[in-house]
Structure 1
Amino acid sequence: MIPNFKAHPWHGVSAGEDAPNVVNVFVEIVPSDTIKYEVDKETGYLKVDRPQKFSNIIPALYGFVPRTYCDNEVMKLAVESGASDVTTGDHDPLDICVLSSHNIHGGGLFMEAIPIGGFKMIDGGEADDKIVAVMVGDHAFGHFRDIAELPDAEVKRLMHYFLTYKNLPDEPAKCRIQEVYGVEHAKKVIKASQKDYADKFGG
């Protein structure tokens, strides 16, 4: 009998055959979560990172693109965008939030998503890009192909979450968004993170 085997969601699954146009996403948290989960880098299992401190609820499915890593190549794109205080990537897989009209009850699953843009977020001198994507086949969001096509309120809702989820109300902002970029730059970020992954872990 062949023993059961679970591929590591970061290292054991590809970014997708058609990446960066369509990417695999490992979903860690969903909008109904009051706990922040993240993948344990050693085992590949979801673990509790921390309870959400405040009323901030992530407005989209949130996870990462497998076999990506944010280091020098991702940092260079941030510098090219005018972020003079950036010294490195955040040394994590590339973050991605996926818009969908469907109520998915929990993370720990894979889906295909179409990148449409992103946020050049700078967090304590680290490039911490957030790719924005739509779930393949989603009836409400699946037709969008660039972040500029989204309602402005949807973009601002995402931005507000990322700019405030780490802060107490009376604290100064810990991070900023250097720019909001469209689909073509999102693809550059994905490719850069794939190169950073290859440089760190091998092809």
Structure 2
Amino acid sequence: MGNLWKDLDIGKNPPEEIYAVVECVKGERNKYEYEKDSSAIFLDRVLHSNVHYPGDYGFIPRTWYEDEDPLDVLVLVEDHTFPGCVVSARPVALMK
């Protein structure tokens, strides 16, 4: 797989079923960032508090928002995956 943002489809059957590219995993305090130009995953920062990710957090491929990044996605999972993992997900809510 080349570039997870440009080369991967939005999903198998959007908007009912989409792909989520995981950047930050459930329970972790490390904030990773997928660099769209190099296709590398960089450690952006560590959250130095009791805050952690409640689910796997990442982005939806081939999307773009006014904050100059792909659309964010939070995938509710029982066990975390890993940064760069592509997960098939069913959207259930929209947060602003």
Same fold (TM over 0.5): yes
Residue 76 of structure 2: which of 79, 85, 99 is its match? 99
RMSD (Å) for aligned C-alpha atoms? 1.2
Mind listing any 5+ residue stretches in structure 2 that lack a counterpart? none
* AA matched with 2:32: Y
Residue 105 (structure 1) shift: 4.6
Residue 32 (structure 1) shift:
2.8
Is 1:56–2:51 an aligned residue pair?
Answer: yes
CA distance in structure 1 between the partners assigned to 2:57 and 2:46 by the alignment: 16
Deviation at residue 117 of structure 1 after TM alignment: 0.7
**Separation of aligned partners in 2, 1:61 and 1:26:** 9
Contact preservation (8 Å) 1:32, 1:105 = no
TM-superposed CA distance for 1:30, in Å, is: 0.9
Number of residue pairs matched? 96
**Identity value in percent:** 31
Distance in structure 1 (CA, Å) of the matches to 2:83 and 2:16: 23
- CA deviation after TM superposition for structure 1 residue 53, in Å: 2.5
1:54: Cα distance to partner? 1.8
> TM-score with structure 1 length normalisation?
0.45
Mapping 1:30-109, distance limit 5 Å: 30-70=25-65, 89-101=66-78, 103-109=79-85
1:92 offset after TM fit, Å?
0.5
Residue 29 of structure 1 aligns with which residue?
A: 24
Q: Which has the higher contact order (CA 8 A, sep 6+)?
A: 2
CA distance in 2, matches of 1:33, 1:67: 26
Query: What amino acid is the match of 2:5?
Result: W
d(CA) in 2 for partners of 1:52 and 1:119? 22
Partner amino acid, structure 1, of 2:3: H
CA distance in 1, matches of 2:81, 2:50: 19
Structure 2 partner of 1:110: 86
Q: Choose 1 or 2 for highest CA Rg.
A: 1
Larger helix proportion of the pair: 1
CA distance in 2 between counterparts of 1:27 and 1:69 reads: 16
- What is the aligned partner in structure 1 of residue 12 from structure 2? 17
